[in-house]
Amino acid sequence: MPVRPIKQIIQGIQTTDGAGVNLTRIIGGPELDMLDPFLLLDEFGSDNPDDYIAGFPPHPHRGFETITYMLNGEWQHKDSAGHEGLLGDGSVQWMTAGRGIIHSEMPIQIDGLAWGFQLWLNLPKSKKMIEPAYQDIDSELIPIVKEKAGAVKVVSGNYRRTIGPGKSHTPVLILDIHMNEKSELTIPINDGWNVFGFVYEGDEKAISKGQLAVYEKNGVVQFKTEGNKARIYLAAGEPLNEPVVRGGPFVMNTRGEVLKAFEDYQNGKFET
């Protein structure tokens, strides 16, 4: 199989969200507005509690899914549909907003450290108004595939016949890749899917720490390391190829649908 060339390399921008949480926005910024079906990717990570302790008080969503992957620390989720969960090291919170939900995401300080990612995954038009849902995925439920080059945690999708526990409404592959020094790893990806790799620790041969690479649409993705180990957050997904209209916390297909989302929220329809 041919190796996908890198199409674009993105450096995230520093910003704040929620009640003043400092984070790095990697997808959803001026360099890369979205990568269908991925709408946003944030990395939050600090040993200073002031950077994140205010968290994300109750706020609404409609039309997409949020996938929060904690590397370190704890993160508490609570929503208007009655779901509640506490994320620990290596665990995943998968929230499907569907037709509308109000939720909060609040850090719980563990030795002053909270570090992880939040990925926004678009819902197809046919499923934007489904019932809200929540998956609380403990780290022990996430399978690890041992490789000569290191190890691959399979959060969602199918990697070499190992199926991740995260269930999405849009076909995706989400991996946490840990590579040894002087190693090479090939990741099979469905042709036509969009894919990115974000190096969050160490360095890959073509991508430095803190950089996200967007790859062309056909072939495998290949990572190589030289003198350093590397940890890479990879996500690939089948493009929806549908109109995307954003309005703050709502992602729909038309402006009218976004305005209806605001109206429904203001009329208390997200509360039930």
What are the tens digits of pLDDT across the range 203-237? 999 999 999 999 999 999 999 999 899 999 999 99
In a domain, 44, yes or no: yes
Average pLDDT over residues 252-269: 92
Contact 116/69 with Cβ under 8 angstroms?
Answer: yes
Reported as a single tens digit per residue, the pLDDT across 89-109 is: 899 999 999 998 887 777 766
User: What was the pLDDT predicted at 52?
Assistant: 56
> Is the per-residue pLDDT at 20 higher than 90?
no
Number of domains the chain contains: 1
pLDDT attached to residue 74 = 77
Instruction: Decide if 1 is inside a domain.
Output: no
The answer as to whether 133 is a domain residue is: yes
pLDDT of amino acid 255: 96
Q: pLDDT (tens digit, 9 = 90+) per residue, 158-185?
A: 999 999 999 999 999 999 999 999 999 9
pLDDT at 206: 95
Mean pLDDT value across the chain: 89
DSSP string, the chain: -PBPPEEEEEE-EEEEETTTEEEEEEESSSS-S-BTTEEEEEEEEES-GGGTTT-EEEEEEBSEEEEEEEEESEEEEEETTS-EEEE-TT-EEEEE-TT-EEEEEEEE-BTTBEEEEEEEEEPPGGGTTSPPEEEEE-GGGS-EEEETTEEEEEEESEETTEE-SB--SS-EEEEEEEE-TT-EEEE---TT-EEEEEEEEE--SS--TTEEEEE-SSSBEEEE-SSS-EEEEEEEE-------EEETTEEESSHHHHHHHHHHHHTTTT--
pLDDT score of 247 more than 70: yes
Phi-psi region of 63 (alpha: psi -120 to 50; beta: other; left: phi over 0): left
15: containing domain: 6-266
Residues of the chain above pLDDT 90, percent = 66
pLDDT of residue 19: 44
Please, which residues have CB within 8 angstroms of residue 248's CB and are 6 or more apart in sequence?
A: none
Q: Other C-beta atoms within 10 Å of 1: how many?
A: 11
CATH number, position 92: 2.60.120.10
Distance separating alpha carbons of residues 217 and 223, to the nearest angstrom: 16
The answer to whether residue 51 scores a pLDDT higher than 50 is: yes
Model confidence pLDDT, tens digit, residues 102-152: 877 777 666 667 788 999 999 999 999 999 998 999 999 999 999 999 999
Statement: residue 54 has pLDDT above 60: no
The predicted pLDDT at position 83 comes to 74
